């Protein structure tokens, strides 16, 4: 779901995306999956923040999406 969300946001012109994940490796893997999908769009900035910074990221964000693997 996160990969599809990033692809959709990029296609709509979103420029800055921040990912908070409990597992940094999974966040990095997600970015690598998205690199080829969003390469056709204008440059985006995708940033990884530690999960401990989640509330700070939410405060700074215009909109927040959440998902789980449940």
In this predicted structure, the answer to whether residue 15 has a pLDDT above a threshold of 60 is: yes
Q: Taking all residues of the chain, what is their mean pLDDT, rounded to a whole number?
A: 84
Domain count, the chain: 1
65 falls within a domain: no
* Cβ atoms 6, 17 nearer than 8 A: yes
Angle of helix 2-11 relative to helix 24-38, nearest 10 degrees, comes to 40
> Helix (H, G, I), strand (E, B), or coil: what is residue 59?
helix
40: domain CATH number is 3.40.50.720
Higher pLDDT, 3 or 52: 52
Spatial distance between the Cα atoms of 70 and 57, rounded to a whole number of angstroms: 23
Report pLDDT digits (tens) over 18-47: 999 888 898 888 888 877 666 656 656 788
Stretch 1-23: mean pLDDT, rounded? 86
26 falls within a domain: yes
> Helix (H, G, I), strand (E, B), or coil: what is residue 63?
coil
């Amino acid at each position: 779901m996160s990969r599809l969300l990033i692809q959709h946001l990029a296609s709509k012109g979103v420029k800055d995306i921040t990912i908070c994940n409990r597992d940094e490796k999974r966040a990095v893997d997600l970015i690598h999956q998205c690199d080829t999908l969003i390469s056709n769009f204008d440059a985006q900035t995708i940033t990884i923040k530690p999960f401990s910074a989640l509330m700070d990221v939410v405060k700074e964000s215009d909109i927040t999406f959440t998902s789980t693997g449940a």
